[in-house]
Structure 1
């Protein structure tokens, strides 16, 4: 395997454009898409921390999400990466008094759409 996830630049801050750019780079390399899909199956939270420069508060919010919940949320994304389907990303950053994270994944005729919010 010549392509590895470690080759990806860390994006700061996490924006829709940066996240979409990284997803597009992953989708352009079939081997890497399968590797990322496997990581999503294992623990999407760890993968997000590796791909993005999350603030400490964002990392805390992400770590508070249950593993099974994040796995099930990202299962359609992993499937789309394996099958070469489009993945559309939208990142919403909000400032709240709580540290939380949430993901909404939608599958439709246009592909898979991911909406992420990691608030701090």
Structure 2
């Protein structure tokens, strides 16, 4: 890892092993094992801490993204509800006006029929009178 120097430790060969006269680094990967050097354990702990931090940041981003999505959906539903409510109110107003007009037409037709019936009755009565006079 960058920034971590083996020369900082007390043992110059920490994290290294000697094979056939060549000093090679001990592989420092995987989970912490019993034979890991303190430097390797520290590296692994730092890697775990960094990964945990990345996981927390990713979780917060997902939560913020979900909250944003919910806010947008809520706003869209509010707009749609307001539009539907306005359309419904306009439709009800139009239907009430149409109902009033139909009632006026029905009343006018009823008056016309009634007037016609009265005229017919008057004519019938007049015809009877004339008939009685003719006898």
**TM-score normalised per structure 1:** 0.17
Higher relative contact order (CA 8 A, sep 6+): 1
TM-score, length-scaled by structure 2: 0.16
